[in-house]
Structure formats: structure tokens, C-alpha cells
Chains A and B, each alone.
Chain A
Amino acid sequence: MNDAPHPDARRSYLRKRIAALGGVWVVAALFLWQAVALPPPSRPAPVSPGTFPTIVGVAMLLAATGMLAGALWEYLKASPPAPPPLPADEEVVTSGPHGEEIVHSWPRLGIALGATAAYVALFFPLGYLVSTVLFLGGMGAYFWRRPVGAAVFAVALTVGIGWLFSLLGIYLPAGLVALPF
């Protein structure tokens, strides 16, 4: 059996990498632009507020260019290191040929991030108790596939954490339902 990936797969992998690093390069260029645009000091100062950011911006753009050039060079050489085959059932996050973390399931990543964003957005309006029970219960039900067990854990952990933080003098937003302590 030949384990080497198809050349098209290699090229497709490198095309995605070049696009991602192109994005990184744009961010670096934007930062340098913002650094150069910083106004001179409003009162006499030995060092202008823009000098150090400009040096850092140049280094950032240089690093981004180095990464992008490396990826383009690999693409042109057309003999890139092959992305490793994805292990089927493993808990460790394996990394790719350029040290990048590999995502085994993009939908799961999207759900994890979406749920976290929703939790952040609802933390104040619904309050700690309701938003956290919903977040922990929902995540547990989806990823653990045991809705009843997840609900029990969600309520117990939410109340437990709220109690621990109240011991530290941190009182969490009440929202719809306040904690009893």
C-alpha cells in the first residue's frame, strides 16, 4: 500500500496554507501601518510612542513574509511534506508538518466556539446561573450524548462553582435567577 498522499492533495493543502499565511501577512501589514500612523508625543518625551511599535511591526511583517515565502517556495517546488494521515480515535491533538494543530471535526469546533460566544453574550442578560446551566448542559448533551447525566452535572457544577466563588467574595450576575448565596 502506498501511504504517500496524492500530489493534488499536497497542492490543495499548501494552497490553503498559503491563503491562511496571506491573512497573517495582511494582519502584520495592518499593524505596521497603525504603528507608523501613531502621532508624535503630546508632551516632550525622550522616546516617541510610535518608535518601538514600528520596530515590532517591521519584525512582525518580516516574520509573516518569511512564513509566506516558505509556503510559496514549497508549493513551487511541488514536493511539500505530506500532511500526516489523521488518526481515527485518539484524544491527543496531533500537529501537521508545519507544527499546525489539526482539527479532526470542523463542525464540532464551530459548535464549541459558537456555544462559547453565546455563553459570553448571555452571561449578563440571563445571569450566571441560567446561562451556565444552559452552556454546560448543552455542551454535555451534545458532546457526551447523555442529556440527563449532562443536565445533572450542569446544575451541580454551576451551583458548586458559584458557591466557591462566593467564598472568594466574587458575586456573580443574578440575571433571571439569583444564586441562593
Chain B
Amino acid sequence: MINDLGELISGLGSAIQPEYLLYALVGAALGTIVGVLPGLGPTMTMAMLLPITFSLGDPLGAIILFGGIFYGSMYAGSITSILLGLPGESSGIVSVFDGYQMTRRGRAGAALLSNGVGSFIGGLIATVAIVFVARPIVDLAVQLSPADYFALIAFALATTTLMGDRLWPGLFSLTVGLAIGMVGTHAISGDERFVFGVAELRSGIDLSLIAIGLYAVSEVALNLANLGSTPPTPAVIGKLYMTRREWRRSLPPYLRGSVLGFVVGVLPGMSGTVATFLSYNMERKLAKHPEEFGKGSIEGLAGPSAADNAGSGGSFVPLLTLGIPGTAATALMLGALQGFGVQTGPLMLQNNPELVWGVIGGLLVANFMLLVLNVPLVGIWVKLLKVPGALLYPLIIVISMVGAYSIGRTSVLLFVVLILGLVGLALRLVGIPLAPAVLGIVLGPLLEEEWARALVISRGDYGVFLSTPLSVIALSLAALVLVWPLARRVVVGAIERRREALAGSRS
């Protein structure tokens, strides 16, 4: 543990070098911008920038940049929730309940301060917590067999189907991602799959192209189709000031929200958004004045604001220790690391400690920068809402396409992006979430590789997947996650029918 703290200090030392400070600042500012602007998210921003980061040639810089974007969007996703009642990100939905009510009562300054401080505390506690849990998880993970690893990835993928609230759309999205991930040369036999004679597809479709197409193109097209005619007018912010009583009431929810958010964030498929809802419910149950919730209770704002940033911090744990991301944003970070040729997985901490600790150090630095950007400078970001979408959205297309061009410098790749954009749009229009697809694309090849390795070791015996306690537990949980939504519907339906029958017989 002492060693790890020493490593963290050396990671901080790397992170405060001028170029990494610049990456953290650019990431934090970009994250804040997309967090404030409704309709634009961190995953889309990372997708747009993924090819550009490869030309920077520095994996640590790329992940610090992405970490800044990820944290920044969580900070700022609640700013418009508080001022306009309009969440900038899904993680800001809960902040509407009490944050917007505080604004309506003339306490916008206190709400913004509470949100900024809560996000900072959540991000800080979660980032420090990564240091404490990383080494024990890696020590366990290096002993895992291919069958264990396969089972863990299968569990992580199964839980991503929970990202939508229905099983079938999530499962469909996941299989689309797995299918796209199979395009190219089969790693085990060397045979081509789904290439259809297109030479550019032989080495697979680059993750940057997929991410740009699925996320950026479809998101921009939808935003343009739904442009509002009048920009929203934010409320007056007033003084950023909290009374002593408000500080006292906020501190316990900050701490509880941080711990809850971190634990939820570590779990695959669970986003900061889930953590905010759980934190809100917990605070309401624990509150001395639960009747104030929904009417401007500062506890109802403080807990979730810490929980969403702690959730983002927690989601770095499976990424950095196992190489198994649990969210679309961390999946893109894994893709970036792999694109740089970094060996991801449990060995990353052993083989590339300066990278892992540098990332954690960079996250800490970005978190401090975000506190400054989001509390005293909050007024500047709110003005961004006045930027016309008609200029902003086409600009995103241009940066995305130029980024796609930089990967292969052929027009075929731009058409691949366009086609994937249409696929992403079609999926969205029928209510199929995109996040499971991104995880499927990134984790699919790894899943198939571990599956083949396990079968090679067992000489084709499928019993190997149930040969260790971990693989049995992980596969059982994966099956449970997939069956649960259907089972719940059947059970709830049966209970309701019974209740109705009882009510009918009584009357």
C-alpha cells in the first residue's frame, strides 16, 4: 500500500508536467462544454477525438485527455439541470428535482456551488480509492485462467444489456457490436470473416471509425433534425454562496454519495446515472425532512452530485485492473490504449506502471482543474448555450470526418463512417441503445480469444467453463442478468393477477 502511494506520487509527478497539464485542461474544458450542451455527450466527444489522439502519439496524454472529458461532463451535466431544469447529460436528471427548485427559490448560486463541490469530493474520493483497490484486484486477476477471464467478460457484457431498461434491445445492440468486432481476419485461424472482398476491411474496422459513425454522425443528425428555434434563457446565477447550515447538511450526503457512486461505478454496466438515482433515494430515506425532497432540498442535490463523479472514477477500476471496461466511455479509452499497442489487462499495472499511475495522477489533476472551471467560472460555460447548434453540429461532422481521414487517407473509410452513422441512427430510431454495441465491439475479440484459449487448454472440452468457482459464479450471474427482466415480468404479472383475483373475490 505504501508502495502504491509512492507510485501515485510519481504518477502525479508525471501528470503535472506541462504537456499533461495541458491535456488535462483541454479535456476538462471540452468535457465541461459537452456537459453543458444538451444532446452532446462525452462518448461522442471521445469518438470524435480518438483518431486525433493517435497522431499525438502518447497513450498517457490521450487517457488524461479522455479522463478530463469524462469527469468534466459529469461536473457540468448538472449545470443546465440546476439553471434551466434541462439536464445536459443523463447523469444530471436527478439534479433537476431539487437543484432547479433551489434556482426557482433564488438559490441558484448555492445549488451550483453545492454541485461543484460535490462533484469534486466524489471525483477525489473515487480517484484515491482506485489506488487502494487496484493492486489487490490485479494480484487476484493475474491468477485467473482463460475460462475465468471469459466468464468475467461474458458477465460484463451481459450486464451492459441493462443499460437500456429492456432486455431485447440491449441484447440486440450487444450482438451488433460483437458482429462488427468480428469483421476482418479471425485471430485464431487466420481466415477472413465478413470482409466481402473489401481490402480495407481485412484488418477489421478501426474502433475510431465505428465510434465516430455510430455516435457522432447519428447524434449530430438527430440534433439538427430537432433544433429548437429559440435558445433557452438561463436563470440569474447570483452569488456562489452556501450558508453554514447548508454546508453542514451537504457534507454527509457528499461522503455517502461518493462511497455509493464508487461501488456502483466499479460494477460493469452501471453508470454514474444509476448511482445518482440510488444516492437520491438513499438521501431521501435518511433525511430528517424527507418532505423537502423535490422542493429544493440541498441533500437531494449534494448526494447525487458526488455520486455521479464517484461513479465515473469507479468505472476506471475494471478498465485499469482487468482491461474490462464497463461503460461506453471507458471502452473507448481501452480502444485508445490498444490502438497505441499497450498491453491491457491485469498485466498493465506490472508492465506499464508509469502509465496506470500517470492516468490516476492525471485524473486527480483534472479534478482540481474542474473545481476551478466549474465553480468560479460557471457563468462562462452557461453562455455557451447561446452558440447556435446550426454552426456547432456541422463542425462536429467536419472534425469527425477529418479524423476518420487521418486513419487511412482513403475515401472508403469516410463512406464506412457514413454507413455506420446510418446504422447508429436506425438503431436509435427503434429504441436500441448504442452503449452495449460499443462494449461488444471492444470486448468481443477479447471474449472470443479467451474462449479459444480455454478450449485449447481443455482440448475442446466445454466443461472447462464450469471448472472453477469464479467461472461458475460469473457465468451464473451473467445468465441471471439476462433472464431476470423476463422472469421479473412473469413474476410481477402473476402477483398482479393474483391480487386482482383476490380483490374480485372480495367484492
Contacts and interface: CB of A to CB of B under 8 A. Distances in A.
Interface of A: 17, 20-21, 24, 28, 31, 34, 38-39, 41-43, 45-49, 52-53, 56-57, 59-60, 62-64, 66-67, 70, 89-93, 95-96, 98-106, 108-109, 111-113, 115-117, 119-120, 123-124, 128, 132, 135-136, 139-140, 142-144, 150, 153, 157-158, 161, 165, 168-170, 172-173
Interface of B: 38-39, 52, 55-56, 86, 164-169, 171-172, 174-176, 178-179, 182, 186, 188-191, 193-194, 217, 220-232, 388-391, 393-395, 397-399, 401-402, 405-406, 411, 414-415, 417-418, 421-422, 425, 428-433, 444, 448, 451-452, 455-456, 460
Given A52-B182, A108-B227, A139-B394, A21 B171 contact: no
A170 B402 contact: yes
A99 B401 contact: no
A43 B191 CA distance: 9
Nearest to B427: A24
A63 B393 CA distance: 33
B411 A120 contact: yes
B383 to A, nearest CB: 16
Contacts of A17: 430
B226 A104 contact: yes
Given A67-B169, A99-B433, A108-B227, A116 B179 contact: no
Contacts of A43: 189-190
B220 to A, nearest CB: 7
A57 B194 CA distance: 13
B161 to A, nearest CB: 9
A103 B429 contact: yes
Contact of B391 (A31, A34, A41, A150): A150
Nearest to B224: A112
A91 B227 contact: yes
Given A99-B164, A123-B411, A123-B414, A109 B224 contact: yes
Nearest to A112: B224
16 contacts: A34-B194, A41-B191, A47-B451, A67-B169, A93-B226, A95-B431, A103-B429, A116-B418, A120-B411, A123-B414, A128-B402, A132-B398, A143-B389, A143-B390, A161-B398, A165-B402
Contact of B390 (A56, A144, A165): A144
B226 A120 contact: no
B110 to A, nearest CB: 25
Given A60-B179, A91-B228, A136-B391, 20 more contacts: A47-B452, A49-B186, A49-B191, A91-B226, A98-B166, A99-B166, A99-B433, A101-B429, A104-B226, A108-B225, A109-B222, A112-B224, A112-B393, A113-B221, A115-B394, A120-B414, A120-B415, A123-B401, A140-B391, A140-B394
B193 A38 contact: yes
A59 B478 CA distance: 14
A136 to B, nearest CB: 5
Contact of B431 (A60, A63, A96): A96
Nearest to B38: A92
A139 to B, nearest CB: 4
A104 B224 CA distance: 10
B171 A53 contact: no
Given A21-B430, A109-B221, A136-B394, A67 B55 contact: no
B389 A100 contact: no
Contact of A91 (B186, B232, B425, B444): B232
Given A70-B168, A100-B431, A135 B182 contact: no
Contacts of B414: 120, 123
Most buried by A among B188, B232, B390: B390
A119 B401 contact: yes
Contacts of A132: 398
Contacts of A108: 224-227
A50 to B, nearest CB: 8
B490 to A, nearest CB: 14
A21 B432 CA distance: 11
A123 B230 CA distance: 33
A63 B432 CA distance: 11
A112 B220 contact: yes
